[in-house]
Amino acid sequence: PKVFYTQPDGAVKVIDGAVGDSVMSTAVKNGVRGIVGQCGGTLSCATCHVYVERAELGYFAGPTEDEDDMLECTAADRADNSRMSCQLTLADGVDLHVTVPDEQV
Ligand code: FES
């Protein structure tokens, strides 16, 4: 599946990801700017914040309570489509579009 990462300046990087990887690990492996993933996906850093294309939010179960807590700690303002990208798993045949916030730490 492809993940389209849009930077705050509008630049888009398209990565061909692997099923089962997260949107965070796919970004980190491929050097996508602005997604840090400091805690490695254990919901304790809030540096993997992304805005998910609204039409694609339904591909995922809603945030757990732990993710919800982390979403309150993001550097950039939380929006209704904010998610921690370490919690978003790539699925077969499902392309995703996320926007990277202008601040991550
Ligand atoms: Fe730390 Fe997602 S990588 S909360």
pTM, to two decimals = 0.97
pLDDT of residue 105: 86
Number of domains present in the structure of the chain = 1
Task: Locate 76 and state its tokens.
Answer: 């950039």
Residue 60 lies in a domain: yes
What is the extent of the structural domain holding 85? 2-99
| 79 lies in some domain | yes
CA-wise closest residue to 53 among 12, 20, 104, 105: 12
According to the model, what pLDDT value does residue 90 have?
Answer: 98
Give the atom of ligand 1 at the shortest distance from the alpha carbon of 41: 3
Which residues face 89 on adjacent strands? 22
54 phi, psi to nearest 5 deg: -55, -40
38, part of any domain: yes
Report how far residue 67's alpha carbon sits from residue 46's, in angstroms, rounded to the nearest whole number.
9
How much distance in Å is there from the Cα of 90 to the middle of ligand 1?
16
Q: Which atom of ligand 1 is nearest to the CA of 43?
A: 4
Give the separation between CA 80 and CA 25, rounded to whole angstroms. Answer: 23
Query: CATH number of the domain that 67 lies in?
Result: 3.10.20.30
What pLDDT, on a 0 to 100 scale, did the predictor assign at position 3? 98
Q: Is residue 34 part of a domain?
A: yes
The rounded average pLDDT for each run of 10 residues, N- to C-terminus, in the chain (105 residues) is 98 98 98 97 97 98 98 97 98 98 94
User: How many alpha carbons lie under 13 Å from residue 76 in its C-beta half-sphere?
Assistant: 20
Query: Using CA positions, which residue lies closest to atom 4 of ligand 1?
Result: 43
User: Is residue 8, in this structure, part of any structural domain at all?
Assistant: yes
- Output the CA 68–ligand 1 centroid distance in Å: 12
- In this prediction, the answer to ipTM > 0.90 reads yes
**104 within domain boundaries:** no
